[in-house]
Structure 1
Amino acid sequence: MSQDASHGGDRKGEQGDGGDQPPLAPLRWRVRTLDPATAVRRGGLPAPQQTAYIADRILVQGVPADDKAAVGSVIAELERAAAEHNWAVRLEAGDLADARLLRRAGLDAEALATAEPAFGFGLRVEPAPGRPAGPPDAWDLLEEVGEGLTAVAGEGIVLSLDHVLVAAPYTDPHPYTDPHPYTDPHPYTDPHPYTDPHPYTDPHPAPGLAEYGRAGSGGRSPVTWVGPAPRRRHKDGRTVDRTADGIERPVVAVLDTGTGRHPWLTDDVVVRDPQVLGEPIGTYPRPTNPLQDCEDGGMAIAPLTGGLDPVAGHGTFISGLVHQLCPDAVVLACRLYGGEGFIAEWDLLRSLRRLLVFHLRGLAGHADCYPVDVLSLSIGYRHERPQDAAFDTPFRHLLDTLRRTGVAVVVSAGNDGDPRPLYPAAFAPRLDRAVTPPTPIPPSTLSKDDPPVLTVGALNPDGTTALFSNDGPWVTCRRAGASLVSTFPVTLAGSRTPSTSLVGTDPGERRGTVDPDDFSGGFGVWSGTSFAAPVLAGEIAAVLLRERERIGPRGVAGATVHSRCEETWTAITETTGLEPTS
């Protein structure tokens, strides 16, 4: 495994956090899978569903991290329950850094009031100093505390697990959900193993899914592009977000593995590792081993074996799709996770908070930031209690805040071929897609000032729905997502070799078969709803550009939040058929 597997708060004394922290175990060692058959639960509650979470962290929403008195009350209540297990509870220092970032963002009172509720915090659960203790388990602690915290710390406080989110495109020789139990719909704890029609030697939950992982059937493989590069209609202005004639370029934030080097994806097209007030929006640390850093989430599983990581090239592929559909757009390439393709929810929340600050500063006219038009997310997880109305307040609250300030949030539906809700995809409104245009299923409404989360399933090249694509009333629409062609980092090459390679007859000539994991040509084929989502994101950006061309130039802070939501709705209606209902 590449070193990115240790990401997730593993750094000592994170810059700006105000204190040193002891080094942590790699993130993958801190992950626990919640087993419905054995999980502790409070009486009267149904058994939880399976999920993966960080065992030693709890997320808190409803209390600002810099409110010392309220934070102290929450910690004290959890400490009482944790003491029985010889565990201690402390605040994650990184959340204090983000709270300070918001305070020095230079926002007016209205913008500050909009952002503040989205800034919760994390708590670390660890063995108490000098006392023997079993490994911390956030689930056990949350179930033990139950609803008693409200009486002590006040209404509106929500505690939740720190879920593990996974990116899951189809990668040769196995789809990404195979070797990683976090998204496998049939893990070893399957309550009905004996009737499972697929024996244990079948790593795929349904016949046919494996095909998408093979070269020639949609799996990650190199191809040659012979057509012209996408061309911008507008010349560049003095800033990356403005054209020479003063038109605002659509800004698409891609929180993913980053974007590697490619002739199409120059620095005027892609803003790599964007920052807000000197802090990177993407919290993923750059690998120290240059062999593992192609600016796109890692390059090799290990230096001694050299195979490509499961999602190496993921962010570059997505950026290329956005660029093909809207060449005039600007892509904010924020490094969210590495080549293994998973991230702790806590890290994702920190990046989303920084993106929110960047966006609000842009709306306020600060020269170092600009408003974000579209957010593309290609990750997901299953929640243990989706029937709980407040089941995932931290993540949902941040996405709601971004949407209500004019950002179109586009997410992938997931690749399990499963109707069970996957999140954040299932944050989208339930729709009746049997009618045209699709309409919300009551009690859902679509407010004019509240553009919805848009969830995208995948289509095959012939227009049929891809077998792997998740589906349900929470899937907004479908876009091309199988056997797509897009960009790869020109530095991306794994250890596999052509089946035949020899010296040619001309001086310096080499002859051979196709190298299956050499992407130095810059292009490849891949499949997954991970890529259907940015197709819709690019379409939305193209509509926004057309509308801004019609309106003409406007000032740096020439659009209000209300007008941004109106713009977003115009693009959503044209691309998906959805319309506001209230």
Structure 2
Amino acid sequence: MSESGPSGPQGGNGDNPAGGERRRDRPPVRALDPATAMRLTDGRPPLPALYLSDRLLVRNVPGLTRGLDDLGTALDRLGLDFEVTPPRPDEPRGLAGSAWGASITLRPRRSIEPVDAWDVLQRLRAADDPVAERLSLEHVLRPADGYWGGIGGYWGGIGGYWGGIGGYWGGIGYWGGIGGSALQEYGMPGRGGRMPVSLALPDPALRARKVDRSPVVALLDTPVADHPWFRDSERLIRLRYQHGHLVPDDPPVTSPSAGPGARPEPTPAPPAPPVGLLQGHATFIAGLLRQGCPEATVLSIPVMDDDGVVDESHLLDVLEALLERHQRGQKRGGRKADVVDILSLSMGYYAEDSSFTSGPVAEMLDRFAAAGVTVVAGAGNDGTSSPFVPASLAASLPGPKQPQVPPVSSVGAANPDGTTVALFSNPLTVITATRPGVSLVSTLPLTDGMGQPSSSITGDTNVRCTVDPDDYTGGFGVWSGTSFSTPVFAAELAASLVEQGGLKDVGPEAMCARSLAALHSCTGKDLS
């Protein structure tokens, strides 16, 4: 197993918009190496996975910090103590059902001894300890974005993030055997890589139809940056996670001269140092949602920073708070966008077991489905069929004799021809839909990096130059990935809900029926 050093990415753990409140520094991220790690209890080697080296998740703990005596006894036999981290309130939420559980930090009795959460988990499983059934690794999620084969330093040890993991990521070796150079083509400007463009299109919200209730798409991702398309607080609502609940977040500072329907003004921005690899990720997604369904309201909830790293427990905490808000909104009748129709997740983690179909994330998303929420997840960009959670939890639409709740939908990426699938798009067991995911055009933060035009001539009244490769002050750019085919499909579902009508009925049964009808319509499958 390979482990990141102390300078590894810290995600939403500091004082930042993604965290909402200060969280503890992330422990080292460890890569599960199939060649050296302890095997599964049936003798199979695990699949590569990224997890927090000294943490485990405990599911469905009564009273959060109570009912852990059996866990303490089991860990005592291994010479370990534990603490619940980060500290959480001990009272249950106002949910129909118990909280998802808690994250625990393992502490060796001898401080000089290392601790590996995977080894601890496997030893408990091998001993047939009942407590092991409630435990799982705390995985690290990353976006289903546009970085392939180590581009930008995410995987393969380039840039020092994961300490020389080698060829596990990016489709080389363990991930599907696809040559890394072929995947990397998508990272090149002109072949799907991020680059600035001009868009002669007014804000699609200006043509939005009036509806009884706007469909709400919850976007858990990076923060949505200031942009002229998103200065209308009715169409984009910003929330942040604080003390166990979602609270309103102040919008970014905007120019007083720019109205809601204005195009970005090409005002010069001072050159800035290189930004995070995922800078503008949610902004791009929000623009695709706006283009596909201008009537929809986007609920922006940051869970990660521009480094694109999310602790599984933090995602679960935010999902739990969102579910609480949704269920309360259903009781109030769905006012002020407090009921969620679609949950868009352009992120995931690779599970260590190819048969993985359970876990805290799966259980939480089942509860969203029962409450009438359609979950849409990106299939991932590594060209592998390895389970990428939550997209790998996708299932076929239910038959007449099955519970009528919307299953998780997984979305693959299509090339611009609309008929071929992008080479990077993961061929999971169940792909619900394939939508455009290469060389898409959408909104980006109004930033200007350190790059410069290759040629420039200054005149008396203007500057004539070639394209500045990282000047996004025009507000639009090109990007690729299943991160972006996901909101294309989510917007399609939202538009189908608008066509159906009846959105004012926010009871779980009515919402489930509408969600299934939209899924049948958008996937071309007959309701019968």
Q: Name the TM tier (shorter chain).
A: 0.7 to 0.9
**Displacement, 1:72?**
2.8
Quick one: distance in 1 between partners of 2:400 and 2:223? Answer: 35
Query: In structure 1, which of residues 233, 256, 261 is the aligned counterpart of residue 226 of structure 2?
Result: 261
Hey, what's the Cα distance between the residues in 1 that align with 2:401 and 2:429?
A: 15
Q: Which residue of 1 aligns with 2:372?
A: 406
CA offset at residue 415 of structure 1? 0.8
CA contact (8 A) 1:282 1:351 kept: no
Residue number in structure 2 paired with 1:480:
436
Equivalent position to 2:344, from 376, 379, 385: 376
Q: Percent identity?
A: 36
| Distance (whole Å) between structure 1 residues aligned to residue 61 and residue 129 of structure 2 | 12
After superposition, where does 1:291-330 map in structure 2 within 5 Å?
Answer: 306-330=273-297
- Is the 1:59–1:159 Cα contact (8 Å) retained in structure 2? yes
Residue 521 of structure 2 aligns with which residue?
574
Q: TM-score, normalising length from structure 2?
A: 0.83
1:349 CA displacement: 1.0
* Contact residue 311 and residue 340 of structure 1 kept, 8 A: yes
Question: What SS class does the counterpart of residue 146 from structure 1 fall into?
Answer: helix
| Aligned mates of 1:173, 1:515 — CA distance in 2 | 25
- Match for residue 290 of structure 1? none
**Is contact 1:445-1:580 (8 Å) kept?**
no
Q: Aligned with 1:73: secondary structure?
A: helix
Specify the alignment match of 2:298 in structure 1. Answer: 331
Which position in structure 2 is the counterpart of 1:469? 425
Measured in 2, the distance between the counterparts of 1:337 and 1:353 equals 16
SS in 2 for 1:364: helix
State the alpha-carbon separation in 1 of the partners of residues 178 and 355 from structure 2: 28
* 1:62 Cα deviation from its structure 2 partner: 3.2
C-alpha distance after superposition, 1:300-355 (max 9, x if no partner): xxx99811321111100000000011111110111111111121111111111111
CA distance in 1, matches of 2:291, 2:415: 18
Q: Structure 2 vs 1, CA of residues 345 and 522 (structure 1 numbering), >3 Å: closer, same or farther?
A: same
SS at match of 1:470: coil
Gapped regions of structure 2 (runs ≥ 5): 253-269
Indicate yes or no: 2:92 matched with 1:125: no
Distance 2:464 2:178 in 1: 36
Contact 1:313–1:489 (8 Å) recurs in 2:
yes
CA change 1:79–1:304 in 2 (3 A) is: farther
Q: Distance in 2 between matches of 1:173 and 1:52?
A: 16
Residues in 2 aligned to 1:525 and 1:53: alpha-carbon distance in whole angstroms = 31
Aligned residue for 2:295, secondary structure, equals: coil
| Matched-pair contact (CA < 8 Å) for 1:428–1:455 | yes
Residues 50 and 454 from structure 1, CA distance in 2 versus in 1: closer, same or farther, beyond 3 angstroms? same
How far does the alpha carbon of each residue in 1:45-86 deviate from its partner, in whole angstroms, 9 at most, with x for none? 322111110001100113234361x223223322332x1xxx
> Residue 350 of structure 1: which of 317, 320, 329 is its match?
317
1:486, distance to aligned residue in structure 2 (A)? 0.4
Offset at 1:207?
Answer: 3.9
Distance 1:304 1:483 in 2: 25
Inter-partner Cα distance in structure 2 for 1:580 and 1:468: 32
Contact preservation (8 Å) 2:273, 2:449 = yes
Q: Contact 2:437 / 2:482 at 8 angstroms: preserved in 1?
A: yes
Matched, 1:47 2:45: yes
Does 2:457 align with 1:499? no
- Give matches, 1:25-44, under 5 Å: 26-27=25-26, 30-41=28-39, 44=42
Distance 2:299 2:174 in 1: 44
Gap change, CA 1:446 and 1:227, over 3 Å in 2: farther
Q: Alignment partner for residue 547 of structure 1, among 497, 500, 509?
A: 500
CA distance in 2, matches of 1:140, 1:483: 42
Task: Please name the residue that 1:138 is paired with.
Answer: 117
CA distance in 2, matches of 1:539, 1:136: 46
Equivalent-residue separation in structure 2 for 1:88 and 1:127 (angstroms): 6
State the partner residue of 1:296: none
Identify the match of residue 159 of structure 1 among 135, 139, 143: 135
> 318-327 or 511-520: which moved more?
511-520
How many residue pairs are counted as aligned between the two chains?
A: 496
- Secondary structure of 2:139's match? strand
User: Is the Cα–Cα contact under 8 Å of residues 240 and 302 in structure 2 kept in the other structure?
Assistant: no
Superposition deviation, residue 271 in structure 1: 0.9
Q: How far apart are the structure 1 equivalents of 2:472 and 2:223?
A: 16
1:563 CA drift (Å): 0.8
